[in-house]
Amino acid sequence: MHEGAIAAAIVQGALEALEREGLSSARSLTVLIGRLHSVVPDVLQDHYRLLKRERPPLRRSRLLIEIAPVRIACRACLREATIERPEFACPACGSTQIDVIGGREMHLKEIIGVRPTADGRRQKKKSESNSKSQIPNPK
Ligand SMILES: [Zn+2]
């Protein structure tokens, strides 16, 4: 259910990015998802595969999922660190006065697609375009 909502948000974000970039179809999407979202990549892939079938511009695209680590900033020693489990203490000094600064991100990092030619004919050589965009917050 969780992954389904995220997949739907990725599809929406990708379609918007294609339109903004003037691309007719996508070949690959790279999404960056913070670990605190607890996404299971295989489940997200299954949802994406189902959804993209109904979206011609995305039908032949591959979804690449990058998981961003949980990052904290310690208010006591001012260091920043990556933590493996959300134990919410600074690994350097043990302080619990920390701010979580990474792990909640979710955005479309890259989209590679096909740009139609000006005369509308099918282009032999594919051009690529990268764009960054936020994935709308899944409800
Ligand atoms: Zn610390």
Distance CA 36, CA 44 (A): 15
Task: Give the distance (Å) from ligand 1 centre to CA of residue 102.
Answer: 16
Residue 121: exposed, middle, or buried by beta-carbon count in 10 A (0-12, 13-18, 19+)? exposed
Distance CA 71, CA 99 (A): 9
Domain boundaries, the chain: 2-69+103-134
Task: Give the distance (Å) from ligand 1 centre to CA of residue 68.
Answer: 21
Contact 10/137 with Cβ under 8 angstroms? Answer: no
Task: Give the distance (Å) from ligand 1 centre to CA of residue 35.
Answer: 21
Q: What's the first-to-final CA gap in the chain, in angstroms?
A: 11
Task: Give the distance (Å) from ligand 1 centre to CA of residue 90.
Answer: 5
Distance CA 98, CA 37 (A): 19
**Structure confidence at residue 134 (pLDDT):** 60
Task: Give the distance (Å) from ligand 1 centre to CA of residue 97.
Answer: 8
Task: Give the distance (Å) from ligand 1 centre to CA of residue 100.
Answer: 12
In this model, does residue 123 exceed pLDDT 80? no
Angle, CA of 13, 24 and 54, to the nearest 5°: 60
pLDDT tens digits for range 25-77: 999 999 999 998 989 999 999 999 999 999 999 999 999 999 999 999 999 99
Which fold is adopted by the domain 2-69+103-134?
A: hypothetical protein PF0899 fold (3.30.2320)
Task: Give the distance (Å) from ligand 1 centre to CA of residue 96.
Answer: 8
Q: What is the mean pLDDT of residues 94-123?
A: 82
